[in-house]
């Protein structure tokens, strides 16, 4: 029984030493280099490509103009059970008069 206990203890201690020594024996330079290269050669070019695409799309949209859809006063849209707690109470918090209609229609059509 003593031999079995001694062998088990020795094996357990050896495994513990190996597991504890693993972190100190290896450096993390490989992981750092991997993520640095990932950032420089993949992430930054992707951001640049998407930025150029969005800029070109916005320029094209500005060139052709943006027509908003015709206002149709559907009963189930823009239901106001109570007023908004800011401003006059009819406009949403981030209201854009060219895009967001009021319950009666676009603001530009009223003037």
CATH architecture of structural domain 71-111: Irregular (4.10)
CA pair distance 3, 78, nearest whole angstrom = 82
- What would the pLDDT profile of 10-36 be if each residue is shown by its tens digit? 787 777 777 765 555 566 778 889 999
Tell me which residues of the chain have a pLDDT lower than 50. 111
Domain coordinates of the chain in residue numbers? Answer: 71-111
């Amino acid at each position: 029984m003593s031999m079995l206990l001694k062998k088990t203890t020795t094996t357990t201690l050896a495994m513990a030493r190996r597991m504890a020594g693993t972190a100190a024996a290896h450096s993390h330079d490989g992981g750092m280099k991997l993520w640095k290269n990932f950032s420089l050669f993949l992430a930054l070019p992707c951001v640049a490509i998407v930025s150029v695409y969005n800029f070109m799309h916005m320029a094209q949209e500005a060139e052709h103009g943006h027509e908003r859809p015709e206002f149709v006063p559907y009963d189930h849209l823009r239901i106001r059970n109570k007023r908004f707690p800011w401003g006059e109470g009819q406009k949403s918090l981030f209201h854009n008069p060219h895009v967001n209609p009021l319950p009666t229609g676009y603001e530009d059509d009223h003037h």
